[in-house]
Amino acid sequence: MGSGLVVLLLLASIATMGCETREEQIRALEDTEITVRNIGVNEFSSDVVELNLTLDIYNPNDVTARLERMNYTVYANDVSIGNGSFEEPVEIPPDEGRRTSTNFTAQPTLVPSAIFSALGQGEVVWTIEGVMYFDTPLGTIEQTFSENLSEMDNITESGDSSANGNIPASVTEEGGQ
């Protein structure tokens, strides 16, 4: 009877260690960083508002992060101009980053004329707020984010990424929508 109890306790401790490792991995994924690198204005007219969002996603952890999707809201000078989503999975290896982009389209009727004027003068502060959804062995975890970017902060592709966060220069390009 005593040896059966020892075996049972041994099995329970092994099972618990595996759960702790998975839970630690999930907690580690919550440290994944997102930086809005650039917001390109494809078209901003009375017919359509179309932006291209370039994002750097950095995984500082020792496990691969798989971004399944992302839902976000775009603000121009603190005014919501619409919601968007990114639904193209991106795998981010440990201690690496990925650059990806997505197009955002909004109805111009939702955008006040003051925003059109500010954009024409280069005086827009963009804010992107949203939720990233990561796939893990124990299910999907959510991580919220919020990033600001002024017209002056928009970094060209040849610019220095260190000015806009701690995404390393070795960020790898990923396809976008």
**Nearest partner of 102 among 5, 148, 155, 36, judged by Cα:** 36
Number of domains in the chain: 1
Place of tokens 């619409």: 82
Cα torsion at 154, 132, 172, 58 (round to 10°)? 90
Residue 80 forms beta bridges with which residues? 75
Q: Is 80 helix (H, G, I), strand (E, B) or coil?
A: strand
Q: Is 17 helix (H, G, I), strand (E, B) or coil?
A: helix
pTM of the model: 0.72
Residue 31, domain extent = 2-173
Would strands 65-76 and 33-44 be described as parallel, antiparallel, or unpaired? unpaired
Buried residues in 60-76 as b, exposed as e (16+ CB within 10 A): bbebebbbbbbebbbbb
Residue 55: its pLDDT value, please? 92
Residue 165 forms beta bridges with which residues? none
| Amino acid identity at 43 | E
CATH of the domain at 134: 2.60.40.10
Place of tokens 């968007």: 84
Residue 20 DSSP class: H
By the 8 A CB rule, do 165 and 171 touch? no
Q: What is the pLDDT of residues 145-170, one digit of tens each?
A: 999 998 766 644 434 333 333 333 33
- 104: which 2 tokens? 């955002």
Q: What is the pLDDT of residues 16-73, one digit of tens each?
A: 444 456 666 566 566 888 899 999 989 888 888 899 999 999 998 888 889 999 999 9
